[in-house]
Amino acid sequence: MRRALVAVAVLVATLGIAGCGVRIDASPQPVPSGALPAPSNTASPTDSPTDAPVRTVRLWFVREDGLVPVLSEFPGGDEFGPAAIIGGLSAGPDAAQAEEGVRTVVRDPLTEQALVSVPEEGGTTESGSVIVVITPEVAALPPGEQVLMLGQVVLSITGAGYPSVTFVDSAGSPAAVPLPGGRLLDRPAVARDYAGLIIEI
């Protein structure tokens, strides 16, 4: 009796579906192409973009006859390196800092070009020292300005985690550079060589 009732119920349901215009297949069939809505590329409200990595570095700029630190932000990852630091030094401080007498001597005041650069290839020695090329225009700076420029470069690069700076001329030959006391330095420069230029804030 129970089996008969189940059979009747299945028959009624089948007739009801057929009456609604739904085709009944004997076996499963694939869903026709385009029958389902395409997935949306719109991000859901819970999605949040990944923040681009940022690296904060202390750049050293000139004030009066010494150097002061300025915190600057750079893109992180592969975009950051000694060339980015030189670019930041060449760009100089922002307008507010410039009004306070902060300036850079890494940029040639006549051509607005950086007086130093980092080679595109082979920018470091085997010991990890950063190679910095000095342009011939540096010789036109007063001796005191030359020392300040070298201090800007050395303190900024070593402060970013590099061990030292090796200065070379435009031909790639090692260059002897002046220290604050006037003595020439014929080895890679480290932070303590120019630490005497730092002004207490």
Supply the pLDDT for residue 87: 94
Following CA atoms 171, 62, 70, 85 in sequence, which dihedral angle do they give, to the nearest 10 degrees?
-10
Query: How remote is the C-alpha of 128 from its chain's centroid?
Result: 20
Q: Where are the domains of the chain?
A: 54-197
**Mean pLDDT, rounded, for 148-157:** 98
Measured distance CA(187)–CA(95) in Å, rounded:
36
- Residue 48, token pair as written in the block: 């949040």
Averaged confidence pLDDT in the chain: 81
According to the per-residue pLDDT averaged within each range, which of 48-52, 78-82, 97-101 is highest? 97-101
Report which of 189, 196, 193, 148 is spatially closest to residue 165, judged by C-alpha positions.
Answer: 189
pTM: 0.73
Supply the pLDDT for residue 166: 97
Using the predicted structure, report yes or no on whether residue 6 has a pLDDT greater than 50.
no
Q: What are the residues whose beta carbons fall under 8 Å from the beta carbon of 137, sequence distance 6 or more?
A: 108, 111, 115
CB 134 within 8 A of CB 127: no
Using the predicted structure, report yes or no on whether residue 188 has a pLDDT greater than 80.
yes
**Mean pLDDT, rounded, for 173-188:** 95
| β pairing state of 54-63 and 102-103 | antiparallel
Supply the pLDDT for residue 110: 86
Supply the pLDDT for residue 52: 66
- Least confident span in 4-8, 24-28, 175-179: 4-8
Is the four-CA dihedral 76, 79, 84, 88 of positive or negative sign? negative
